[in-house]
Structure 1
């Protein structure tokens, strides 16, 4: 039968397990020990592509319990990481602890996203000889749209207005909004998401500029209608809205935006980050926002979930969402397609979206 599912108990009760080709014990095992509910349906739809390639075991709940993850992944050649942060200790346990570990140990981890460096120690994976794959550009539209959801909340405060009117109020002059048309958007990171944001901004009538780092193809500025600016401080100082879309790359973008850069934000500039918190130097954004003159909207944080006592929660005038910018139906479809394709490529001896090679 392909595929089929059944129920099996675990330490916290009944966890539903979905398995494909369970009778094919001659095939290598792929395990996803934890998953977001929204990913289950799209992933199941992609699994027929692995028929006669690998059997798949999907645990249909989410956990970050390291012992449980290790237990569930026992015997797997490939692990699909559906969101848990893998500590160095857990990565060693999953891989067998040494390069080329014993048979049946995890030799490949497929991450359900792009920013895998935030979840797995890539240097250690390389040392252990574990291939790491990710997904690319699956969420360009999703994150770009969420960027504008945040921006529109800052300028029109729809959520606050909705709450007020349902509580019996009626907005007064203090609830006047800001108009986006004619304002300048400064984009830090003109990749797939940043380029999509630029095109949406132009549809709103905004003037768009982007930081030219030397790594972005010149034609991308022309295609997205963004004016290239060589100096980051100049881009920040000259923008009415600053939006961050840099990938997190150790040794390249981690901590790239500094407190000195953020000091060039003029009062009233709207600041948005839907990329990774770690591309900003530790403490730099908090210090700038605590001055109280920069409306901001954030979807990413240094520590996730955001601790209850995090000072960001106490700053008035900012909008916070729980790292959900990438979570749309379209993004899940493309994400799971790439995940399954990476698994197929691994077993075929090919490379696809390889961040760390096992060799």
Structure 2
């Protein structure tokens, strides 16, 4: 039986916020934020994760605002929300809301959509390095060898990050954090000079490179940190990836959609590029997906953002979006209802 957590249930004079589905890891962090909604809104939270749209639609029938915990809202569900509920504010638990909600359709329905910003800068940056380190030192395979009694490692010696050049595609909050960590590892750092203030390069001691293909061709490690929007969708092309030198490490903890469809799989199939990927064209990834059969590729299930610190900041921002909405103010508004 699904546990339902409610705050101020007796305050029927207050608007109702419903969270019909959420990740287990979010339960306690978001509960800790609910006191900020005292005398502002009551909350009804279902303590399970489901993406069943029939269940979601039933649970949000009488809601005034919706907290979205990591599931996709189809156009059909969004239309139903607009037509059959009082919901005029949707708060998404992350930055890349464009991958989960049709924003133009939300704008058409005059539904506010909010997200969270920079909550996972450190979490995702650290995960990018976890992928790099697994590729160059193969700690997981070594652990398995030792535990199986094989002390004589036969998988080849590791590689060293110090002295190698890291090319960052997307020098925003996460990319900037990655640059700082890379400096701590003794790496040289370059980044694509696309709408990035000159002072950011100077402050991070990062070399700007104007041409994306040149950045990729000149790097020992390439790490993608672009947000997904209309301007970035498919911006990394097959032609760009063709310029990866054999042995270059390719890391993507951003969004798979910033790469031209099919281009990365085709490049990795050549077998000369080690890669660490946390995001995919289709999620969840099935075991028989073609990318799972490519040697030298490390895959994780879109968990780069999931740390204790990230959850704390994420849920703080989600509740701040609601308090601003009910006060007639703006906070992290991606689509305005006005």
Query: Given the superposition, is the C-alpha separation of residues 210 and 39 from structure 1 closer, same or farther in structure 2, using an over 3 Å criterion?
Result: same
| 1:226 alignment partner in structure 2 | 206
Greater CA deviation, 195-204 or 170-179?
Answer: 170-179
Structure ranking higher on relative contact order (CA contacts 8 Å, 6+ apart): 2
Which residue matches 2:2? 15
Matches within 5 A, 1:129-144: 129-144=110-125
SS of 1:71 mapped into structure 2: helix
Contact conserved, 1:187 with 1:244, CA < 8 A, in 2? yes
> Of residues 129, 141, 157 in structure 2, which corresponds to 1:148?
129
Are 1:28 and 2:15 an aligned pair? yes
Gaps in structure 1 of 5+ consecutive residues: 1-13, 98-103
Matches within 5 A, 1:119-198: 119-198=100-179
3-state SS, counterpart of residue 130 of structure 2: helix
How far does residue 308 in structure 1 lie from its aligned partner after superposition? Answer: 2.5
Contact 2:142-2:153 at 8 Å conserved across structures: no
**Which residue is 1:64 aligned to?**
51
Q: Are the aligned partners of 1:181 and 1:205 in contact in 2 as well (CA < 8 Å)? A: yes
Tell me the distance in 2 between the aligned counterparts of 1:79 and 1:344.
13
* Cα distance in 1 between the residues matched to 2:305 and 2:203: 23
Equivalent in the alignment of 2:97: 116
Q: Is the 8 A contact 1:259 1:284 kept in 2?
A: yes
Residue pair 1:130, 1:358 contacting (<8 A) in 2 also: yes
Cα shift readout 1:178-217 (whole Å, capped 9, x = no counterpart): 001100000000000000000000000000000001x212
CA distance in 1, matches of 2:42, 2:260: 43
Matched residues in 1 for 2:41 and 2:82: separation? Answer: 19
Aligned-CA RMSD value: 0.9
Give the one of 82, 88, 95 matched to 1:95.
82
Q: Confirm whether residue 344 of structure 1 aligns to residue 323 of structure 2.
A: yes
SS in structure 2 opposite 1:146? Answer: helix
Aligned CA distance change for structure 1 residues 196 and 78 (closer, same or farther; 3 Å): same
CA distance in 1, matches of 2:18, 2:82: 13
Query: Would the alpha carbon gap of residues 171 and 217 (structure 1) be closer, same or farther in structure 2, given more than 3 Å must change?
Result: farther
- Match in the other structure for 1:55: 42
Instruction: Find 2:271's aligned residue among 292, 299, 308.
Output: 292
Shift of 1:173: 5.0
Q: CA deviation at 1:248?
A: 0.3
CA–CA distance in structure 2, aligned partners of residues 308 and 179 of structure 1? 31
Offset of residue 219 of structure 1: 1.2
Does the CA contact (< 8 Å) of 1:185 and 1:242 recur in 2? Answer: yes
Alignment check: 8 A CA contact 1:196 1:224 kept: no
TM-score (normalizing by structure 2): 0.99
For the pair 1:276 / 2:255, whether they are aligned, the reply is: yes
Contact kept, 8 Å, 1:96 with 1:106, in 2: the verdict is no
State the 1:357 CA deviation: 0.6
Cα pair 1:109 1:132 within 8 Å, conserved:
yes
Partner in structure 2 of residue 9 of structure 1: none
**What secondary structure does 1:228 align onto?**
strand
Offset at 1:223? 1.7
Determine the structure 2 residue equivalent to 1:8: none
TM-score, length basis structure 1:
0.93
Q: Tell me, yes or no, if the aligned pair for 2:145 and 2:153 is still in contact at 8 Å.
A: no
